[in-house]
Every structure is written in structure tokens, then in C-alpha cells.
Structure 1
Amino acid sequence: MMKILYLIPARAGSKGLPGKNTKLLGGKPLILYSIDFAMKNINKGDELCISTNDKDVLTIASDLGIHVPFKRPEELSSDIATSYDVIMHAIKYYEENNKYFDLVFLLQPTSPFRSQQDFENLIQSYDEDVEMVVSVKKAKENPYFTLFEENEYGFLDRSKRGNFQRRQDCPDVFAYNGSMYLMNVNALKSAKLHEFKKIKKIIMPEERSIDIDTMADWVLADFYLNKQ
């Protein structure tokens, strides 16, 4: 059985929505949605790692009896630190302590809505030829139709050339929704995330694809939560 490192990255210092990881959504700290989801699915041999420098997140984890193995270094908690840096830091920490994993399952606390079926679809889509399985939503904007780039003359060109008269005739395009990333550890050691070539997707609906970055996102998440 494959061993999975469940990794929840939760740095302090959000500029778009300060304190969002511990802000109450439906009476529950935002990060708790991801912690509860991980705890529901974790198996023997797996590990939950909350990578954070946020003292409020550390308090929540402590109150739940969750061991946080390290406080995330400040150089990995800045605006310029990448998800890849955070993932590799966690893998290295565990390997230095003789714990090895086959997969990393990244759960972003800013995406609180996941169903059990989403998780099962993700796990079933993974095989050893895959570098990553990622959750996506169908994108409304389409590079064949509604996305443009400025050319050297200052005019707009379609981002992708095609001869489509209607948007619904264009190929489907997908956007990462930020919710779930299941990554092969060996692949992570040999390439950065943006260099991955063998990526599979699972599609999640719009109402479970909220990625909270601003107050507008928060209001929308609250709306979907109350609608459920």
C-alpha cells in the first residue's frame, strides 16, 4: 500500500484576506475543513503535516491533539516562497527522520469544499505512470475565444488560434481549482511542479472549486455553504 504524506500549507500573513486560515466559516476555522478531510482519509503509515508559521494555526492543531513536527522557516513563509519549496522542505524533514512516502497529497486550506467522491476519484485516477493528479474546474474563459494577448503592434490576438464561431464549439479547457494535488514523490525529486508532463485531472463543480483569496471569495464560499 502506498504511503501518503497529507500536507496542509498554511502560512501567516495573507495580504488579500488577513488571518483567513483561522477565520470562521460557518462557525468553523477555515483550516479545519482541510484537517477534518485529511483525518477522515488518512491510513496507517500515512502522516498529516501542517506546514505553518502561524501561531493561531499551531494552537488549533495543538487543541486537536495533532503533532506539528516543525514550525515552517520564515524564508519559506514569504510571498516569494513557492509551493514546491514547501513540499520539498516537508519531504526532506521526514526523510531525515527515516520516514519515506510514495505520494504527497497537498490540501490547500483556502479550498474548504471537497467531497469524499472527489477524493476517491483522485485516488482512482492515479497510477505509477502519472506524476500528478490534480483537481480542476471547467474554465469559463477560453484561449480560442475569450482570452487575448497583446502583439508587438499593441493589438490583441487570440491566445490560441482556431476557427471557432461560438464558444461552445471550442475544446474544453480546465483550470486548477487549488483544492487537491496528489503528487509522486520521485517525480517531485526530479522535476518542479511546472515541469510536470504526466498530469491527470479530476473535475470538480464550480460550487466546490472556491479558492478563497479575497473577501469576495469568502462571501461566495459562505453563500455556497449556506446553500448546502
Structure 2
Amino acid sequence: MKTLILIPARAGSKGLKGKNVKNLGELPLIAYSILFAKEVATHNDIVCISTNDPEVIDIAEKYNLPVPFVRPDALASDFAGSYEVIMHALNHYDALDINFDSVLLLQPTSPFRLVEDFNKMNALYTADCDMVVSVCVSKNSPYFNLFEQDQYGYLKKSKESDGIRRQDCPEVYAFNGSMYLISVAALKRTNFQGFTKIIKSVMPEERSIDIDNMRDWKIAEYFLIEAKNENS
């Protein structure tokens, strides 16, 4: 299987300015995904950063990862979606007659994934599925503590359940934003909303940090320190 390993890293984050190039511990945040991509890539794969940020390009080149194109401004706004960014990258390589079976999307805001997480995900992937996605077990549940407002203004459980404890309810999962292993055939057929064959790959809470703001950053720093203490 030939995989495009794609790291989307646009400039202009609103939640935490410059987070992709900000040092988390001893490395810029983007470097965690670059090093991970290089570690899991096979000789068939291509690692690509899609960015419009000159600082990200500089960091990538320091890690011997040439950036093949600068992402167009239209795909670097707050309104641009991941699907459009992925298709732009695939179209770039299609024009060069380089084709892929799958795309591994690595969000740079999730620095703590491990090779074992990828190996588990990769083992779950089949030619018949649309996507294998990394998830974590959700503490919030539509069967227990998630509600919707009805026509009278009252809160009702999003999904009816007789469970009086969360543990009594069906387990639910949240995309943790870390990794998406996606069929190119599925991408060319429909967007994410059209996917019907999605397989979960569960990651633990401590590796499911998705950095969006300073609070998330502080939590990531805490887990980084804890990991170093465990390994020392």
C-alpha cells in the first residue's frame, strides 16, 4: 500500500498563536509529527506538509523534509476544511503521476501518538473501509449526560437510556484528532460526511491531547513532564 502521509499546518491559528512553531519541551510542536511521519513511513510512502507558514517550511527543511508546495490562501482560512486540503495535496501528486492508495492525516496539534498506535490502526485498515480513525473513550455520553433542548425549552437526553450510571450505558467514542488513515478511493467518491465504513482505533487519554488553546498547551506540558519522569 502506498500512503501519502500528510501534515496540515496552516498559519494563523486563533486559539493559540503560532502554536505549530512554538516549542513544546525541546521541540517545535510541528516537529513531533514530522519525526513520527518519518518513523512510520515505508519506502513507498511520501511525507508531505501542507502549509502556508514560512516558519513551518523552515522547520521542515531543518528536518530534511522538503515542502513540495505552498498551500493556497483559499485553503488556509478559518473556513477551509481538511477534506479540501487533502484533495489539494492528492491533486498535486496526481499531476506528477504519483498515485496513492491511502492518506495518513497527522494533525500537528496531537504530539503524543506512538508508533504502536499507528501499527494498531494500520492493522485495522482494509481495502473495504473508508477510514480508520484514532479515538478516545468519551467521558460525555448522549445516553447519560449530553442533552438536547426540545420544542418547549426542556432538556432531554440525546439518546434515551435506562442507565443510571455512565458505566451502564453503551460506550461512546470521540475522534481525538491525532490520526486518520483514509482510503483514497473513498476520498475521490465522497467527502467525510459521506463515509459509512469508519473503523475506530482507540488511544488512551494521555496520548489524545489535541492542542487548541493555552489550557491544552499546559496539559500537554504536564503529560510531557510525566512521560519524561516515567522514562528516567
Q: Please say whether Structure 1 and Structure 2 have the same fold, judged by a TM-score greater than 0.5.
A: yes
Counterpart code for 1:201: K
Report the Cα distance in structure 2 between the residues aligned to 1:79 and 1:180, rounded to whole angstroms.
21
Counterpart code for 1:25: L
Counterpart code for 1:54: D
Report the Cα distance in structure 2 between the residues aligned to 1:197 and 1:216, rounded to whole angstroms.
34
What percent of counterpart residues are identical? 55
CA offset at residue 147 of structure 1? 0.1
Report the Cα distance in structure 2 between the residues aligned to 1:14 and 1:36, rounded to whole angstroms.
22
Say if 2:28 is the partner of 1:29.
Answer: yes
Q: How does 1:1-228 map to 2 (within 5 A)?
A: 2-228=1-227
4+ residue runs of structure 1 moved beyond 6 angstroms?
none
CA offset at residue 191 of structure 1? 1.0
Q: Which deviates more from structure 2 when the two are superposed, residues 54-63 or residues 178-187? A: 54-63
Report the Cα distance in structure 2 between the residues aligned to 1:136 and 1:63, rounded to whole angstroms.
31
CA offset at residue 48 of structure 1? 0.6
Counterpart code for 1:33: Y
Q: Which deviates more from structure 2 when the two are superposed, residues 156-165 or residues 15-24? A: 156-165
- The aligned counterpart of 2:230 is none
CA offset at residue 65 of structure 1? 2.2
Counterpart code for 2:101: D
Aligned length: 227
Counterpart code for 1:90: A
Counterpart code for 1:61: A
Report the Cα distance in structure 1 between the residues aligned to 2:140 and 2:200, rounded to whole angstroms.
18
CA offset at residue 64 of structure 1? 2.1
Deviations 1:81-109 (A, max 9, x none): 00000000000110011100000000000
Counterpart code for 1:52: T
Counterpart code for 1:131: D
Report the Cα distance in structure 2 between the residues aligned to 1:59 and 1:164, rounded to whole angstroms.
53
* 3-state SS, counterpart of residue 20 of structure 2: helix
Report the Cα distance in structure 2 between the residues aligned to 1:145 and 1:43, rounded to whole angstroms.
43
TM-score, length basis structure 1: 0.98
Deviations 1:32-71 (A, max 9, x none): 0000000011111210110000110011112222111100
Report the Cα distance in structure 1 between the residues aligned to 2:114 and 2:161, rounded to whole angstroms.
36
Report the Cα distance in structure 1 between the residues aligned to 2:34 and 2:61, rounded to whole angstroms.
12
Report the Cα distance in structure 1 between the residues aligned to 2:179 and 2:63, rounded to whole angstroms.
23
* 3-state SS, counterpart of residue 109 of structure 2: coil
Report the Cα distance in structure 1 between the residues aligned to 2:61 and 2:114, rounded to whole angstroms.
26
